[in-house]
Amino acid sequence: MLAGQTLFFSAATKERGYELWKSDGAAAGTAELKDIRVGSVGATPLKLTAAGSRLYFWANQGTGYDLWKSDGTAGGTVLVKATPIITPAGQSPVGPVQALAVGSSVIFNQGGENWWSDGSTAGTVSLNVQSNGGLPTLPNYAILGPEVFFPGRRAGGFLGLWKFNTALGAAAEVVPKITPETLITLGSGIVYWQAGDLWRTDGTLAGTKRIVTLPAPAAGRPRAGTGAHPSWLIKGDKLYFGSDELYVTDGTLAGTKLVRDIFPGEDSAGNRNESKPYDLVLLNGTIYFAATTELGRELWKTDGTSAGTVLVKDVRAGVCSSGTAELAVLGSKIYFNANDGIHGGELWESDGTTDGTVMITDLYPGTASSYPVDLTPLNGKLYFIASSYTAGREFWVFDPNTVEEGVPALSIASLGNGVQLSWPVSFKTWNLEYSSTLNTGSWIPVVAPWVDSATEHTVVVPFAPANPARSFRLRRN
């Protein structure tokens, strides 16, 4: 989690267990911030939430998860207030379900109760508004002016749409007896989903209207506005969101439309196909996202029109899915986690073109996966968590500015019983890969003897004349 110019994360050592760490992007500046729970068990910090340069988080000192804050120093990493959540016998301590920074303060849900904190002990209070049935189910918060909107209920009452006025410190119900999900601020109102329908409110009961009824999902699939992945993005005055397909709305019925039916038709059971777009990010006016078709889940992009909604690249060629996920923007490129079926789940980048969508490096060589997650851009670099064979699961950084610009020239000479390939020795660390008519769309690393001269790195690849035609390319490691 990025707070100010500091990256905070939870990490474990054998001696101390999981504790709060910080990093300035350099190995020397990456260290444990504070040993909150002395011993090998660890405090296991959860739900790290940035509020400007301040970080809120929850840590367990052995009595349950309490609210803490940090300014990035050991002395400034302190307990805000014990949030007394009773843990049923035999169950793990209950941490926060969701938290949202509001200026330098935070609103959060823990143990089925909604709380507010300004960072002080006295200013950390329960709103006396529960989530669904008092159970720790997922609420959602959206800010409109000085008010925060969320689903809630009084003890013994029905679930509805509530708001908390941060200036007055008062909570009030807006719409009774509804189950709002995925609240999003759009212009001068809040849009949300209720039983799969899209609604909009200005913060009053009279100003709460249904915008549109969306197609019902296939059996066993989540309704619109639900799911584990971010499936919406604000671009200008419009909201793009993933439901069964990709939609756009300006908060009105006339301004709500299907962008494109990405996965038309039905499956073998007669259920309507759904592409379920998610992980929407914006780069230079174009929205990139992951979506599912007969090719599996791959990288797509849209300019907001049906014709301009297209597949960027079938990373794992054929009907197998690459599992594209974890999209992030850094500079002029998209970064994401994908599996091409050869290297496992690794870090990829894309400039929005098919040829410009490539794997950056194979952190966990072979078909095993490094599975990079939590991709976080900071000061021109990309930070993430990933696994390798030698280091295990650790904190990594990728700096695109240290990579040679451009693709080196590749010289190819036929030898009759093979081919000789040469390129500048300064680019010797680049990977040589080939593709043939037998594996169209896939690129396979070349393993062959090599020789260096003062200026060139040379590889000889033997193959019989009867072998299928091959194409070669260089890709940076």
Full pLDDT tens readout for the chain, 477 residues = 888 888 999 988 989 999 999 998 888 889 999 999 999 999 999 999 999 889 999 999 988 899 999 999 999 999 999 876 655 555 666 777 789 999 999 999 887 889 999 999 999 999 999 876 544 444 589 999 999 999 998 888 888 999 999 999 999 999 999 888 889 999 999 999 887 789 999 999 999 999 988 776 655 555 555 554 558 899 999 999 988 899 999 999 999 999 999 999 988 888 889 999 989 999 999 999 999 999 999 999 999 999 999 999 999 988 889 999 999 999 999 999 999 998 889 999 999 999 899 888 888 888 889 999 999 998 899 999 999 877 788 889 888 876 544 556 677 777 767 788 887 776 767 778 777 766 555 677 888 778 888 778 888 887 655 556 677 777 766
Q: To the nearest 10°, report the CA torsion of 242, 211, 251, 288.
A: 10
pLDDT (0 to 100) of residue 237: 94
Whole-number Å distance between alpha carbons of 138 and 132: 9
Q: Are residues 10 and 17 in contact, defined by beta-carbon separation less than 8 angstroms? A: no
Same domain, 284 and 394: yes
Whole-number Å distance between alpha carbons of 148 and 203: 10
Number of domains in the chain: 2
pLDDT (0 to 100) of residue 367: 85
Looking up tokens 């508004």 gives 129
Identify the domain boundary among 403, 422, 445.
Answer: 403
Identify the domain boundary among 363, 379, 403.
Answer: 403
Same domain, 440 and 364: no
pLDDT (0 to 100) of residue 134: 45
Whole-number Å distance between alpha carbons of 29 and 25: 7
pLDDT (0 to 100) of residue 217: 61
Same domain, 345 and 386: yes
Same domain, 427 and 382: no
pLDDT (0 to 100) of residue 102: 94
Same domain, 394 and 455: no
Same domain, 330 and 289: yes
pLDDT (0 to 100) of residue 263: 95
Same domain, 375 and 427: no
Q: Is 282 exposed, middle or buried (0-12, 13-18, 19+ CB in 10 A)?
A: middle
pLDDT (0 to 100) of residue 322: 93
Q: Is the entire prediction scored with pTM above 0.85? A: no
Identify the domain boundary among 403, 419, 453.
Answer: 403
Phi, psi of 57 (to 5 degrees): -160, 170
- Number of Cβ within 10 Å of residue 383's Cβ equals 21
DSSP tally for the chain: helices H, then strands E: 0, 42
Does residue 331 fall inside a structural domain? yes
pLDDT (0 to 100) of residue 439: 59
Same domain, 305 and 418: no
pLDDT (0 to 100) of residue 49: 93
Q: Tell me the DSSP string of 371-400.
A: --EEEEEETTEEEEEEEETTTEEEEEEE-G
Does residue 431 fall inside a structural domain? yes
SS3 317: coil
Tally of CA atoms within 13 A in the half-sphere of 323 that contains its CB? 14
User: CATH number for the domain including 335?
Assistant: 2.130.10.120
Query: Domain of 372?
Result: 277-403
pLDDT (0 to 100) of residue 135: 44
Same domain, 390 and 289: yes
Does residue 75 fall inside a structural domain? no
Does residue 313 fall inside a structural domain? yes
pLDDT (0 to 100) of residue 221: 55
Does residue 381 fall inside a structural domain? yes
